[in-house]
Amino acid sequence: MSENDAIIDSLFARIGGTVAVAKAVEIFYAKVLADTGINKFFEGIPMEKQKEKMRQFLTYAFGAKTSYGGKSLESAHAKLVENGLNDSHVDSVMEHFVATLKELAVPDDMIREAAAIAESVRDDVLGK
């Protein structure tokens, strides 16, 4: 498989590219901010900037030919971990992530692939 074939076959491309990722991020954060168990972690966070960071991260993580110039996941979440972010909170985030993809009618195999990618960074997010 050539590099171009890999990009075309990336989860990013299969899920619908930039438009789909942007829509998913909007729905996802609506769910997260409505969840009283985790929304406290977003108090005082400029959400448009946060959404842009998430769009960039997902674009990169889902295999688009791009780079991610943001902070490391551990560094970006260190303050949240200091304030109590733990596995149960990440579980809630994962539930909202999967629910978002289901709401967008993403096929189950792609949801599993996206969830595996998201799950693979859990320890980095939690600084483990």
- CA pseudo-torsion sign 57, 59, 61, 65: negative
What pLDDT, on the 0 to 100 scale, is given for residue 65?
A: 77
Beta-carbon contacts of 35 under 8 Å, excluding residues fewer than 6 positions away, are 92, 96
The DSSP string of 59-126 is HHHTT-S----S--HHHHHHHHHHTT--HHHHHHHHHHHHHHHHHTT--HHHHHHHHHHHHTTHHHHT
The string of pLDDT tens digits covering residues 77-122 is 999 999 999 999 999 999 999 999 999 999 999 999 999 999 999 9
Q: Which fold has domain 3-125?
A: Globin-like (1.10.490)
Domain coordinates in residue numbering, the chain: 3-125
What pLDDT, on the 0 to 100 scale, is given for residue 8?
A: 53
The string of pLDDT tens digits covering residues 11-37 is 999 999 999 999 999 999 999 999 999
